Amino acid sequence: MNIKPIETRYAGCRFRSRLEARYAVLFDKLGIRWEYEPQGFMVDRRPYLPDFRFVDSGTWVEVKGSEEELDHDLIFNAAFHLPEAAARFPTLLLLGPIPETKGDRCNWCWVGLSPEELPDEGRHPWDAYWSLAPAGFPGHPLRVADTSGATPVPFGYEGWLEPGGDMDTTDSESAKQLEAYRAARSARFEHGESP
C-alpha cells in the first residue's frame, strides 16, 4: 500500500512530506544549519534532487519513509556525483523514519556514504553509521559511530543513544539529542500549528 506524502510548510519552506518537515524541526533543535532542496544534479543521466544540505559540513541528506522508497542505484551513484562534504563528513546521509524515544534512550544511527578509491577494487561508496550531534559542536553536525559492518541496506537504526553512553556523548549532549528527536516526532503542522 502506497501512502501519498502530505505537503507541509515549516520555516518558510514547503516540504514534499511531513517526514521532511519533522527532520527540519530536528535539525533546528540541534542547531544544524540546513537548506531544503538547494540544488539538483544529473546522476548517470537521471535527475536527482537531494532533500537537504547541511550548510556547515556540506553533507547532502536524503529522507525516505521506508527502504522500499529508496532507489539504491541512484543513491550509490549520487555518492560519486554530488559535491563532496568537508573532510570527515559523509557526502550523502540517508535518513529513515524518525526513531522513537524510550525513556532516556533513543535509536540514533543513520548511514552515510562517501566516495572511496581503493587500488584493488576501484571506486565504490564507503559507508559508515553516523549520528546527528547537538549544537555544542559548531560546524560539526555529524559524528561517526561504528564503521565496522556498516551497510547502506537497510538504512535503519543500529544502536541506542543513552545519557553518557555511546560515542563519547555527555549527559547534556544526549539529553539535547533526545529532546530534538521528541520535538521532531511530536511536531504538529495541522491547521497552521507550529511545531
Q: What is the pLDDT of residues 43-77, one digit of tens each?
A: 999 999 999 999 988 989 999 887 778 888 898 88
Across 1-5, 53-57, 134-138, the highest mean pLDDT is recorded for: 53-57
Question: At 73, which amino acid appears?
Answer: D
Cα–Cα distance measured from residue 92 to residue 164, given in angstroms and rounded to the nearest whole number: 28
Q: Distance between CA 39 and CA 81 in Å, rounded?
A: 13
pLDDT per position as a tens digit, 75-113: 888 988 999 888 778 888 888 888 777 766 655 556 777
Helix (H, G, I), strand (E, B) or coil at 58: coil
Closest CA to 140 of 95, 84, 90, 78: 90
146, three cell numbers = 561504528
Please say whether the dihedral angle defined by the alpha carbons of residues 139, 143, 95 and 22, taken in this order, is positive or negative. Answer: negative
